[in-house]
């Protein structure tokens, strides 16, 4: 005799844990317990359609940054053992995403508050910056997006959200346990970089709503990741593309 028990646990933080516990009864061996954990389809593959854009020298990095335009997004790696470990645990190639503003500045939603930094901040090979460019239908959309992002300057970083999201991604990636958390509402005071950018693009770039139809961590788990931006460029290249390193 074989059967399945489906369990759903709701937490006061808005967590939704969904897994299945199976059991098998044998008259001679008793009850054999096991489990099936969904979510393997949400595991990030080793390479998410971004090709080889590794900068091999200072010149490569400067060439990458030299192609940046206002409204572009910069995926980057933060130097340090702790950030490197975070990328391994979450299987995200990058741990930060910034927005290019005018006058060679970038907007960065970081601890403790959102700040502007020079574009040259990302000018080290260890940062491995990757430029992504939304396919704006009109300059007004780009300008609205930049203005929307500048509104985050001075806002506090949502550390609690980050830690919760890392836990969600780690459980999904390594154990297949899928936990869905509530998405941040537009009126939220504290943000993280990935989700602030996604929400702002949805608000100012109407066709960006097409991302709701593809598998993103933001859609399936409720938490936006840097891998999501690579997935968007892969699945919906008409919305966003990677500015490739010149040969």
Whole-angstrom Cα distance, residue 200 to residue 211? 13
Q: How many domains does the chain have?
A: 2
Whole-angstrom Cα distance, residue 79 to residue 58? 15
Whole-angstrom Cα distance, residue 92 to residue 169? 10
The angle at the Cα of 224, spanning 51 to 168, to the nearest 5 degrees, equals 105
| Long-range contacts of the stretch 145-150 (C-beta < 8 A, 24+) | 145/71, 145/99, 145/200, 145/201, 145/204, 145/205, 146/70, 146/71, 146/99, 146/101, 146/102, 148/200, 148/203, 148/204, 149/99, 149/101, 149/107, 149/196, 149/197, 149/200, 150/101, 150/107
Residue 23 sits in the same domain as residue 94: no
Residue 246 has pLDDT above 70, yes or no: no
Would 247 be classed as within a structural domain?
no
The pLDDT tens digits of the residues spanning 4-21 come to 334 344 344 455 544 433
Residue 155 sits in the same domain as residue 82: yes
Residue 153 main-chain phi, psi, to 5 deg: -55, 130
Structural domain range at position 160: 44-242
Residue 18 sits in the same domain as residue 96: no
Q: Say if residue 121 is exposed, middle or buried (CB neighbours under 10 Å; 0-12, 13-18, 19+).
A: middle
Residue 3 sits in the same domain as residue 94: no
Whole-angstrom Cα distance, residue 37 to residue 20? 6
HSE, side-chain direction, 13 A CA sphere, residue 134:
30
Residue 210 sits in the same domain as residue 166: yes
18-27, 54-63, 150-159: the lowest-pLDDT one: 18-27
Element (H, E) at 84: helix 81-90
Residue 2 sits in the same domain as residue 93: no
Omega prior to 112 cis, within 30 of 0: yes
Would 181 be classed as within a structural domain?
yes
Q: Mean of the pLDDT values across residues 137-142?
A: 96
- Kindly report the number of other CB atoms within 10 A of residue 126's CB atom: 12
- What pLDDT, on a 0 to 100 scale, did the predictor assign at position 181? 97
Does 178 or 8 have the greater pLDDT score?
178
Residue 121 sits in the same domain as residue 236: yes
* Gyration radius (Cα) of the chain, Å: 20
Residue 53 sits in the same domain as residue 166: yes
Residue 26 sits in the same domain as residue 67: no
Residue 31 sits in the same domain as residue 111: no
The pLDDT tens digits of the residues spanning 200-235 come to 999 999 999 999 999 999 999 999 999 999 999 999
Residue 34 has pLDDT above 90, yes or no: no
Helix axes 193-204, 226-235, angle to 10 degrees: 40
Residue-averaged pLDDT of the chain: 82
- What pLDDT, on a 0 to 100 scale, did the predictor assign at position 4? 37
């Amino acid at each position: 005799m074989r059967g399945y028990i489906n369990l759903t646990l709701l937490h006061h933080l808005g967590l939704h844990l969904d897994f299945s516990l199976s059991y098998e009864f044998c008259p001679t061996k008793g009850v054999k317990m096991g489990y099936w954990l969904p979510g393997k389809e949400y595991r990030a593959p080793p390479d998410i359609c971004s090709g080889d854009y590794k900068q091999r020298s200072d010149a490569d990095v400067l060439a990458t940054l030299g192609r940046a335009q206002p409204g572009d997004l910069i995926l980057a790696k933060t130097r340090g053992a702790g950030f490197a470990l975070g990328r391994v645990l979450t299987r995200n190639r990058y741990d930060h995403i910034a927005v290019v503003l005018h006058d060679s500045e970038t907007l960065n939603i970081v601890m403790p508050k959102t700040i502007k930094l020079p574009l040259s901040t990302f000018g080290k090979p260890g940062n491995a910056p990757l430029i992504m460019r939304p396919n704006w239908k009109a300059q007004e959309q780009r300008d609205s997006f930049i203005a929307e992002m500048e509104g985050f300057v001075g806002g506090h970083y949502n550390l609690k959200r980050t830690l919760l999201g890392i836990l969600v991604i780690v459980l999904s990636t390594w154990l297949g346990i899928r936990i869905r958390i509530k998405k941040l509402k537009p009126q939220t005071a504290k943000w993280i970089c990935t989700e602030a950018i996604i929400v702002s693009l949805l608000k100012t770039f109407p066709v960006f709503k097409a991302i709701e139809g593809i598998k993103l961590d933001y859609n399936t788990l409720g938490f936006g990741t840097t891998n999501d931006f690579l997935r968007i460029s892969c699945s919906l290249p008409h919305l966003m593309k990677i500015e490739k390193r010149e040969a």
